[in-house]
Amino acid sequence: MKIKVKVKPNSLTSCVQQISEFDFLVQLKSLPVKGKANLELLKLLKKHFKKSPRIIKGKTSQVKIIELL
């Protein structure tokens, strides 16, 4: 399954909000420095979906395509 994620780094809390069936807004506490926000994103999505996430597109963008394995 593939989902589209809009990431907001440097937020006060870390949370996942569903916008539509395959679109999500994810707020992260981490700064987008040296991949820290991407690591936090993958950990948060793994906990939320109980599946292994993988970034397919947008490693340096706020809008990412994630595949859940």
User: Mean per-residue pLDDT for 9-31?
Assistant: 97
Dihedral angle over CA of 37, 14, 58, 53, nearest 10: 100
CA-CA distance, 44 to 26, in Å (whole number)?
Answer: 9
Q: What is the pLDDT of residues 43-56, one digit of tens each?
A: 999 999 999 999 99
Instruction: Map out the domains of the chain with their CATH numbers.
Output: 2-68 (3.30.1200.10)
Q: What is the pLDDT of residue 20?
A: 97
For the CA atoms of the chain, what is the radius of gyration? 11
